[in-house]
A and B are shown apart, each in its own frame.
Chain A
Amino acid sequence: MAETLVFARPAALEPVITHYCPGCTHGIIHRLVAEVIDELGVRERTVGIAPVGCSVLAYNYFATDFHEASHGRAPAVATGIKRAHPELIVFTYQGDGDLASIGMAEIIHCANRGEKVTVVFVNNAIYGMTGGQMAPTTLPGQVATTCPLGRDVNLAGYPIRVAELIATLKTPAFVARTAVHTPLRAVQAKDVLRRAFQYQLDGTCFSLVEVLSTCPTNWGMPPAEACQWLEQNMVPYYPLGVFKVPGGADRAPRPLDGEEVPCRTT
């Protein structure tokens, strides 16, 4: 009987062991990105940009050319590569400290210029590599090593919702938030990643996919519990969905003399 290969490592992933902690979902996200690169047939013309953070060594795991960027600057590095070689498929892979804290200026302006690049934004609500400090995405009350009593929103403000923030820009873009803590969510995330890369491939627009991710090590809980914690705590604050598509309508402002609407704080 002839054998049929139904499952294999994506060609866009190197056959190496990663350094990620047990239960961390970086591995799943790497795989989904690699599968999309394979399925679109663009591996040989893809250049990735690794951030500073847990995925700093991503260049060892993807079987494509890669740049290692300084902290937060991956969207600027991506801009340089894409402008030099528009035929390349350029993606950044960034965490929440990298993108939403030190790299906020670079991501906003890369999106606003409408650079034809794809940003994979991994949000695990904490600084992983440096050992669990508070991130701009750390949830209210969530304990981190630099907010040992839990994030105090009166001092640190509320966590930044990056997908919503980028979606407010007028420049056409594809912006979505996904998760990978269940098989169903992972399948959805891959579909969204494929759309994001396809928009770049078609030369349509900038694309950003926020992926909610777990950090069992720094959250201080076993992997299965971390997935539940993400579902119960992160998903309500960071709703999943597509926030912007190219050609989508702008949000209408409320009338100035209209009824006061209290800000949503959850």
Chain B
Amino acid sequence: MAKKLMKGSEAIGEAAIQAGCRLFFGYPITPQNEIPEYMSHRLPQVGGTFVQAESEVAASNMLYGAAGSGERVLTSSSSPGISLMMEAISYMAGAELPAVIVNIVRAGPGLGGILPSQGDYFQATKGGGHGDYRLLVLAPWSVQEAADLVQDAFDLADFYRNPVMVLGDGLIGQMMEPVEFRADRVPCKPLPPKPWASTGWRGDRAKAIINSLFLDPEVLEQHNRKLKAKYDAMVRDEVRYATYGTDRPYDVLIVAFGTVARVVSTAIDDLGEEGVRAALLRPITLFPFPYDAVRQAARKAKAVLVVELSCGQMVEDVQLAVAGTRPVRFHGRQGGMLVTPEEAAEVVRGMVGAFQKEVRRG
């Protein structure tokens, strides 16, 4: 298929359809309305179904129902709406249901604003809903990557029988870029059959009970351990990250994800022209987080800078990875304000200037 100029939101919707998703349940919220709008006209064209639910609570529980009956299902929302979906997301993790949830993050807390943010990192990667579970979290930095990761998200969800979240922001949603959907795409994981799905019990398999209730503590502990084994397998097999400029010597390692990483890569180019040596490590999976890659890349630097559109959330994972072996500095913008390449470059110049002073004192 040839490249086509698409808005990020539309590319996300089309990617789901290309991945075989025929069911979308959602509720309007800015800045992601273009995704349900796209699905509402596109899904009927391919024999699918779009339902505008009465709330995000209902939308996510429709997702739970449809996922439990074995279908590929998608919902999208933005931060306050995702908070309302946390109930069903926890139930889906507990009942081991595959589903894809797109969060086009907006600034918070509370009603916050509608402009880009990365303030939902904790919510996405550290639980969010109640109980002991994990989501696989993917963070694209371009429209093409958003389309690719949404398709992968369906495969990963089916393979692990676990909800997968794609974490973007308004920049990803609104940006127009060329996108290609490959007709010869192969699933990124083997796709197991779904004998557990509730499609009617004819006696040819065990009765399908889609459930997260285990009143016997010994049984629930076994269930928790089974889930943990899946999360461990994700940590072992699914870590994804990209680097920029790490093939050259560098003094500052910058860790950033999503659209911020793109801004940072421009700053790295600008700094390079001045002889200031910086490199980027961009986590693509936020859970599982690329701890080892960050640790190793940090060893080659004098210091680490984490740039986020938040007051500092991923920085805690970077600190865990670096484990005190290098200083870790944080730079963030909040409220929907963006980091510019100039601003990021200035922070790096300041860090490098501080090293030089230390060298002179030494």
Q: Which residues of B contact A56 (CB under 8 A)?
A: 213
B208 engages A66 (CB within 8 Å): yes
B199 engages A65 (CB within 8 Å): yes
Interface status of A116 (Cβ within 8 A of chain B): no
Interface status of A125 (Cβ within 8 A of chain B): no
| Residue from B58, B71, B200, B210 in contact with A67 in the complex, judged by beta carbons closer than 8 Å | B210
Stretch from A74-82, A217-225, A233-241 that touches the partner:
A74-82
B54 engages A80 (CB within 8 Å): no
Q: Which residues of A contact B154 (CB under 8 A)?
A: none
| Residue from B49, B53, B70, B207 in contact with A66 in the complex, judged by beta carbons closer than 8 Å | B207
B200 engages A45 (CB within 8 Å): yes
Interface status of B30 (Cβ within 8 A of chain A): no
Known contacts A73-B57, A79-B65, A80-B62: does B199 contact A67 (CB below 8 Å)?
Answer: no
Could you mark each residue 57-93 of chain B with 1 if its beta carbon is under 8 Å from any beta carbon of chain A, else 0?
A: 1110111111111110100000000000001100100
User: Mostly helix, strand, loop or mixed at chain B's interface?
Assistant: mixed
Give min CB distance, B54 to chain A, whole Å.
4
Give min CB distance, A119 to chain B, whole Å.
14
Q: List B206-260 residues whose CB lies under 8 Å from chain A.
A: 207-213
| Residue from B61, B67, B95, B202 in contact with A76 in the complex, judged by beta carbons closer than 8 Å | B61
Known contacts A77-B61, A80-B67: does B198 contact A67 (CB below 8 Å)?
Answer: yes
Closest to B210 in A: A67
Q: Which residues of A contact B40 (CB under 8 A)?
A: none
B62 engages A77 (CB within 8 Å): yes
Q: List A88-106 residues whose CB lies under 8 Å from chain B.
A: 88, 105-106
A63 engages B207 (CB within 8 Å): yes
A81 engages B198 (CB within 8 Å): yes
Cα separation A226 to B55 with both chains bound (whole Å):
38
Q: Which residues of A contact B71 (CB under 8 A)?
A: 84-85
Q: Which residues of B contact A80 (CB under 8 A)?
A: 23, 25, 61-69, 73
Q: Which residues of A contact B211 (CB under 8 A)?
A: 59, 66-68
Closest to A43 in B: B201
B23 engages A84 (CB within 8 Å): yes
With a 10 A CB-CB cut-off, give which of B55, B65, B70 has the most chain A CB atoms.
Answer: B65
B210 engages A68 (CB within 8 Å): yes
B62 engages A68 (CB within 8 Å): no
Interface status of B51 (Cβ within 8 A of chain A): yes
Q: Which residues of A contact B51 (CB under 8 A)?
A: 79, 83, 113
Interface status of A138 (Cβ within 8 A of chain B): no
B61 engages A69 (CB within 8 Å): yes
Give min CB distance, A109 to chain B, whole Å.
4
Closest to B198 in A: A65
B69 engages A81 (CB within 8 Å): yes
Known contacts A46-B200, A68-B211: does B61 contact A81 (CB below 8 Å)?
Answer: no
B87 engages A70 (CB within 8 Å): yes
Give the size range of A's interface with the partner: 20 to 34
Give min CB distance, A59 to chain B, whole Å.
5
| Residue from B62, B70, B207 in contact with A83 in the complex, judged by beta carbons closer than 8 Å | B62
Cα separation A26 to B197 with both chains bound (whole Å):
27
Cα separation A66 to B213 with both chains bound (whole Å):
13
Could you mark each residue 4-47 of chain A with 1 if its beta carbon is under 8 Å from any beta carbon of chain B, else 0?
A: 00000000000000000000000000000000000000011111
Q: List B106-162 residues whose CB lies under 8 Å from chain A.
A: none
Interface status of A123 (Cβ within 8 A of chain B): no
Give min CB distance, A93 to chain B, whole Å.
14
A77 engages B201 (CB within 8 Å): no
B198 engages A44 (CB within 8 Å): no
Cα separation A64 to B70 with both chains bound (whole Å):
16
A85 engages B69 (CB within 8 Å): yes
Interface status of A49 (Cβ within 8 A of chain B): yes
Known contacts A65-B200, A70-B91, A105-B54: does B210 contact A76 (CB below 8 Å)?
Answer: no
Cα separation A78 to B91 with both chains bound (whole Å):
15
Cα separation A77 to B199 with both chains bound (whole Å):
14
A65 engages B58 (CB within 8 Å): no
Closest to A88 in B: B200
| Residue from A46, A63, A64, A88 in contact with B69 in the complex, judged by beta carbons closer than 8 Å | A88
A73 engages B58 (CB within 8 Å): yes
A84 engages B57 (CB within 8 Å): no
Cα separation A78 to B65 with both chains bound (whole Å):
6
| Residue from A65, A82, A106, A108 in contact with B209 in the complex, judged by beta carbons closer than 8 Å | A65
With a 10 A CB-CB cut-off, give which of A63, A81, A106, A109 has the most chain B CB atoms.
Answer: A81
Cα separation A106 to B202 with both chains bound (whole Å):
30
Q: List B5-64 residues whose CB lies under 8 Å from chain A.
A: 23, 25, 49, 51, 53-55, 57-59, 61-64
Closest to B199 in A: A85
A105 engages B198 (CB within 8 Å): no
Q: Which residues of B contact A73 (CB under 8 A)?
A: 57-58, 61, 64, 87-88
Q: Which residues of B contact A77 (CB under 8 A)?
A: 61-62, 64-65, 68
| Further 9 A-B residue pairs, CB within 8 A, beyond A70-B91, A76-B65, A78-B65 | A47-B198, A67-B64, A73-B58, A73-B61, A76-B61, A83-B51, A83-B62, A105-B55, A113-B51
9 cross-chain CB contacts under 8 A: A46-B200, A65-B199, A66-B211, A67-B211, A69-B65, A76-B53, A79-B58, A83-B51, A85-B69
Residues of A within 8 A of B (CB): 43-47, 49, 56-57, 59, 63-70, 73, 76-85, 88, 105-106, 108-109, 113
**Pairs of residues from A and B, 7 with the lowest C-beta to C-beta distance, nearest first:** A80-B65, A80-B62, A76-B61, A80-B66, A77-B65, A109-B54, A65-B198
Residues of B within 8 A of A (CB): 23, 25, 49, 51, 53-55, 57-59, 61-71, 73, 87-88, 91, 95, 198-203, 207-213
